[in-house]
Structure 1
Amino acid sequence: MQLVLISGLSGSGKSVALHLLEDAGYYCVDNLPVTMLTVLVRMLKEEQVRKLAVAIDARSGGGIDQLPDKLRMLAEDGVRHAFLFLYSNEDTLLRRYSESRRRHPLAADNRTLAEAIRLERSLLEPISSLGHRIDTSGLKANALREWVRQFIETEPGQGLTLMFQSFGFKHGLPLDADLVYDVRCLPNPHYDPELKPLTGRDQPVIDFLEGQAEVQRMRGDIARFVGDWLPAYIADNRNYLTVAIGCTGGQHRSVYLAEALGREFAGRARVLVRHRTLAGG
């Protein structure tokens, strides 16, 4: 059986992720108590269910801290699993709840929405680092669906996946980054009227940046650091290593470098390339 577990903060996109998995042929169960996880998996294995997705969050009640032990038990039974944790910053969650006018599952008469969000973050902290984390702050639903699709297609749990993610500093630092590189010091195509509307994936911008010695030096420095330390990250039994590269707007320099580094490391690890700003995040 292939098992995908989804958890995270309410309002961070768990329903979007679960619906995509359902469309991908997974048998989906929402809001399952952790204590019932092994029972459900063993029962569905007997029914020959091959792909199972389970959402576990603060609504599931107590027992969250039992999840690592439950996953070890499933691994001993030969169940391959992947864990996806979705979260957003507080401002994004407050805005989403304000727009949807939905009630937070931990809201109470004596608890504000902000207090409910912080309580949930605290309750889920023990399991937040069990797998791949996606910061959905400001991310559009279509982009999240694509990122979840990439996640299930890279066979998590079968070694390290190296992710190069571009972003714009003016939109905020991505919370899911392991390594962050600031490339705002490099020559900026934004100031060329012909290049301004393009992105780092367009050939005129690529030609401009590849003709800049500073850009190629930065690219080489990042590649050397990641390459030198990649074996250590692999030995640490990580599933994902996210290398975030940021420029001012997340449109030109960071996009070019993420794409270039993705191609450079494609033969050394499973590689994903993501662009937060271009995706709407």
Structure 2
Amino acid sequence: MNEDHSPPTTPYTDPHETHLVVLTGMSGGGKTVALRALEDLEFYCVDNLPPSLLPQLVDAAGRGAGRHRRIAVGVDVRNRGADFEQLPTILSGLAASGVQLHLIFLDCRNEVLLKRYSETRRRHPLATHGMSLADAIGKERRLLRPLMAIAEKVIDSSELNVHQLRRLVATGYAQATEGMTLMFQSFAFKRGLPLDSDFVFDARCLPNPHWQPELRPLSGKDAPVRAYLEGEPLVAQYLADTTRWLDAWLPRFEQDDRSYVTIAIGCTGGRHRSVYLVEQLAAHYRAAREGVLTFHRELD
């Protein structure tokens, strides 16, 4: 098995070129996570597209004032059959037409896939008509072997959590955006620090919506929680001070040729205060730059 935890290395030298990232691989291997990371990087993303429609998508996305030069598509065995078998030929035709094509294969060890499906209780797309999960995974691996053989990059997600995989993909394609990519992450201190963060901010000193019974089941993305926190002067001061600090120091990292920085904000449960602050900071920076990602460890 080709185990690779290094980010994709893809040159984006000409902004007028069309770049198509095709994500495929084992079901449960992380294609949805990878697609969301590219969506946060302003790629035009489509999941579960029939391969025969890829040329039409590229053509349609490239037309008009709102044309998209960065496209990402998820393709997997849900579209199995003759159409799926023609995918290598379709990709070859797109590359011959001048499209900058990047085929990324998300792999994962069988025993890890079995565990993931057991934990999530999801049904494997091939586990039908009495076929066991183990047999479905084996059949999918055989069907995908030709695509794995021609992939530009094979990423083994067996030892990666959701955040690590998202960061791996985003780091590889951050060069598709202007400037440094920012990842804002919320987390719960009671579950430990996110060890791959560059900066960690502690929001546990702020008023806690958890103690409001009607707000407890909600998150910092919900309007009632936002209204509660926006009504607290201490929260506004914390947000302003954090923004001012980041505004002052992030340019220094950008000047040092850093392509990716992760800012983690934690609170006790990782659902209310930290989520709200991450969303507010991301909105602030998205107004002025590309490549701003969010990840809520206790929600996603």
What is the TM-score with the length of structure 1 in the denominator? 0.52
Unaligned runs of 5+ in 2: 1-17, 36-44, 58-71, 76-91, 120-132, 139-154
- In 2, Cα distance between the equivalents of 1:168 and 1:51? 40
Q: What letter is aligned with 1:207? A: A
The answer (yes or no) to whether the contact 2:188–2:268 under 8 Å persists in 1 is yes
**SS at 2:247 equivalent:** helix
Contact kept? 1:135, 1:175, Cα under 8 Å: no
**Is the contact between residue 46 and residue 74 of structure 2 (CA under 8 Å) also seen in structure 1?**
no
Pair 1:192 & 2:209 matched: no
- Can you list the C-alpha shifts for 1:76-129, whole angstroms capped at 9, x where unaligned? xxxxxxxxxxxxxxxx899549877679xxxxxxxxxxxxxxxxxxxx9xxxxx
Q: Which residue of the partner structure matches residue 210 of structure 1?
A: 230
Matching of residue 253 in structure 1 with residue 273 in structure 2 = yes
Q: What is the aligned counterpart of 2:186 among 166, 189, 208? A: 166
Could you say which residue in structure 2 is the equivalent of 1:273? 294
Q: Distance in 2 between matches of 1:252 and 1:15?
A: 25
Matching residue of 1:54: 103
Provide the rounded CA distance (Å) in 1 between the counterparts of 2:196 and 2:222. 27
CA distance in 2, matches of 1:49, 1:21: 23
Q: Give how far 1:184 is off.
A: 1.7
Kept after mapping to 2: 8 A contact 1:157/1:239: no
Q: 1:178 to 1:195 in 2, by over 3 A?
A: same
1:179 maps onto 2:228 in alignment:
no
CA distance in 1, matches of 2:193, 2:208: 19
The alpha-carbon deviation at position 12 of structure 1 amounts to: 5.8
Instruction: Assess, with a 3 A threshold, how the Cα gap between structure 1 residues 157 and 238 changes in structure 2: closer, same or farther.
Output: farther
| Cα shift at 1:192 | 1.0
Seen in structure 2, the aligned counterparts of structure 1 residues 239 and 258 have a Cα distance that, compared at 3 Å, is same
Output the CA distance in 2 between the equivalents of 1:160 and 1:2.
20
The one-letter code of the counterpart of 1:206 is: R
Q: Deviations over 1:156-213 (max 9, x none)?
A: 3432233322222334433543222121222211011122122222333223222333
Give structure 1 stretches of 5+ with no counterpart. Answer: 30-42, 60-91, 104-123, 125-133
Q: SS in structure 2 opposite 1:277?
A: coil
* 1:225 aligned residue (232, 245, 248): 245
- Structure 1 distance, partners of 2:117, 2:200, is 30
2:162 aligned residue: 136
Structure 1 pair 185/94, CA: closer, same or farther in 2 (3 Å)?
farther
Query: Which stretch of the first structure deviates more once superposed, 195-204 or 262-271?
Result: 262-271
Count of residue pairs brought into register by the alignment: 204
**Structure 1 residue 221: Cα displacement:** 2.3
Q: How far did residue 49 of structure 1 move?
A: 4.7
Amino acid at match of 1:180: V
Instruction: Say if 1:93 and 1:178 are closer, same or farther in 2 by CA, change over 3 A.
Output: farther
Task: State the 4+ residue runs in structure 1 displaced beyond 6 angstroms.
Answer: 18-22, 43-46, 56-59, 97-103, 147-155
Q: Give the secondary-structure state (helix, strand or coil) at the position aligned to 2:220.
A: coil
- The alignment yields a C-alpha RMSD, in angstroms, of 5.0
Task: Give the direction of change, closer, same or farther, for the CA distance of 1:137–1:207 in structure 2 (3 Å limit).
Answer: closer
Flag the 1:16–1:238 CA change in 2: closer, same or farther, 3 A: same
In the alignment, is the contact (CA less than 8 A) between 1:165 and 1:276 conserved in 2?
yes
Identical columns (%): 43
Structure 1 residues 138 and 272: alpha-carbon distance in aligned structure 2, compared to 1, 3 A threshold: closer
* SS in structure 1 at match of 2:265: strand
Matched, 1:242 2:262: yes
Q: Is the 8 A contact 2:22 2:73 kept in 1?
A: no
Separation of aligned partners in 1, 2:74 and 2:286: 32
